[in-house]
Amino acid sequence: MSIKKQPFGKTKEGAEATLFTLKNKNGMTISFTDFGANIVNIIVPDKNGNFDDVVLGYDDVTGYEINSPGFGSFIGRHANRIGGASFELDGKKYELEKNDGRNNLHSGFKGYNKFFYETETFEDEDSDSIEFSRLSPHMEQGFPGNLDISVTYTLTDDNEFVIEYLAVSDKDTIVNLTNHSYFNLAGHKSGSVLEQLVMLNADKFTPTDDALIPTGEIRDVTGTPMDFRKLKPLGQDIDANYGPLKQAGGYDHNYVLNISGNEVEKIGELIDEKSKRKMEIYTNMPGIQLYTANFLHAVDGKEGFIYQKHAGVCFETQYFPDSCNKPEFPSCVLKAGNEYDFVTVFKFGTK
């Protein structure tokens, strides 16, 4: 295992960003920047041993300063949508930025992917880790509580990419952290992912209104185009005449995972039939947002490639969207002094 550091450009304010690269014994590498704790590259082999970068992104920090699609992003304090850009906690109403119509998306215009982080690296015999941490002060983005946060990225010699989120607040608050990487197992420059196969271990999903805010209903996927319990191409049903797909212009929905929540369990797969690359997904979060890059259009990315609609797919492990306003959903409230501790694993291989 090894950890490498190199410059990653300067921000508009002149701050220098650093790129950290972890490499395992199989030659797999993952790169991150201390600006936003963003994932920049994930480079893995195909069935013939040819390596390619399987996440969308930018060549330097300049792209990540804007990054409207959220490539590789560490999302917080609250990932996904909050209806009406407000919530009540302990009898007090909190108003947030309205950056998605009248709603709040990914905590506002400056999310956790736009701050610099303190870094610490750890090298073990069969894994290397990098921890990004900072204090999110009381009322940052409109959320109560001073929140000590860290996200630790680990690469193992088993080609596992482990993400661990830790947070503690000095006041009751809401927390919902995720990663917003856009995966394309054929390589980030290969175009549409709609032929790639997906499996999600979820019997139900949460339908939304036209603004993509969950209605509170939990609906069975049986007999609908939302059913991914068996591997199928992402594009097989994406244009079906089905209300939720019409509303979102494709998949942009929270799935209710069939897990206990007590341990990290396998909940999904992504497979590219041409390269034979496979990615398994594990988590102990209750939900996952499947997003097929429906709003991506002509974005200048890495190596001069222009990303278009459906150029990647996101698997955002999470509490359900708007759970802070839906008492019937698992609660994202973090009580003062309690620890938020969740893990997501992306394991790469070939079939």
Confidence category of residue 188, pLDDT binned at 50, 70, 90? very high
Q: Which CATH number fits the domain that encloses residue 51?
A: 2.70.98.10
Q: Which residues pair with 147 in a beta bridge?
A: 136, 169
- Which one from 78, 106, 180, 253 is the annotated catalytic residue? 180
The pLDDT confidence band at residue 261, using thresholds 50, 70 and 90, is confident
Q: Tokens for 180?
A: 């917003």
Domain count, the chain: 1
Catalytic residue among 131, 140, 160, 316: 316
Which amino acid makes up residue 240? A
Give the mean pLDDT of 206-218.
97
Calculate mean pLDDT across residues 10-38.
98
Q: What is the pLDDT of residues 170-183, one digit of tens each?
A: 999 999 999 999 99
Q: In whole angstroms, what is the distance from residue 21 CA to residue 27 CA? A: 12
DSSP count for the chain of H helices, then E strands: 2, 29
Residue 203 pLDDT level (bands cut at 50, 70, 90): very high
The whole domain housing 243 covers 2-350
Residue 190 CB coordination number (10 Å): 18
Q: Give residue 326's identity as a one-letter amino acid code.
A: K
State the CB neighbour count (10 A cutoff) for residue 66: 10
- Coil, strand or helix at 112: helix
Question: How much is the average pLDDT of 11-26?
Answer: 98
Residue 120: φ, ψ to 5°: -145, 135
pLDDT-based confidence at residue 70 (cuts at 50, 70, 90): very high
> Which residues touch 230 (CB under 8 Å, ≥6 apart)?
199
Cis peptide before 134 (omega within 30 of 0): no
Q: Structure pTM?
A: 0.98
- Identify the residue whose tokens are 């996927």: 221
> What three-state secondary structure class fits 285?
coil
SS (H, E, C) 38-75: EEEEEEEECCCCCEEECECCCCCHHHHHHCCCCCCCEE
Query: CA–CA separation, 333 vs 174, rounded Å?
Result: 4
Amino acid at 14: G
Tell me the three-class secondary structure of 130-177, residue by residue: EEEEEEECCCHHHCCCCEEEEEEEEEECCCEEEEEEEEEECCCEECEC
Mean pLDDT rounded to a whole number for the chain: 97
The reply to whether 253 belongs to the active site is no
pLDDT of residue 284: 97
Task: For tokens 């420059």, name the residue.
Answer: 189
* pLDDT attached to residue 262: 86
Q: What is the mean pLDDT of residues 311-338?
A: 98
- What would the pLDDT profile of 82-104 be if each residue is shown by its tens digit? 999 999 999 999 999 999 999 99
Q: Are 215 and 254 in contact (CB under 8 A)?
A: no
Report whether 142 contacts 108 (CB < 8 A): yes
Q: Is 180 a catalytic residue?
A: yes
What is the C-alpha to C-alpha distance for residues 75 and 59, in angstroms, rounded to an integer? 20
CA pair distance 82, 142, nearest whole angstrom: 12
Cα 273 to Cα 130, 176, 192, 277, 326, distances in angstroms? 32, 33, 13, 7, 39
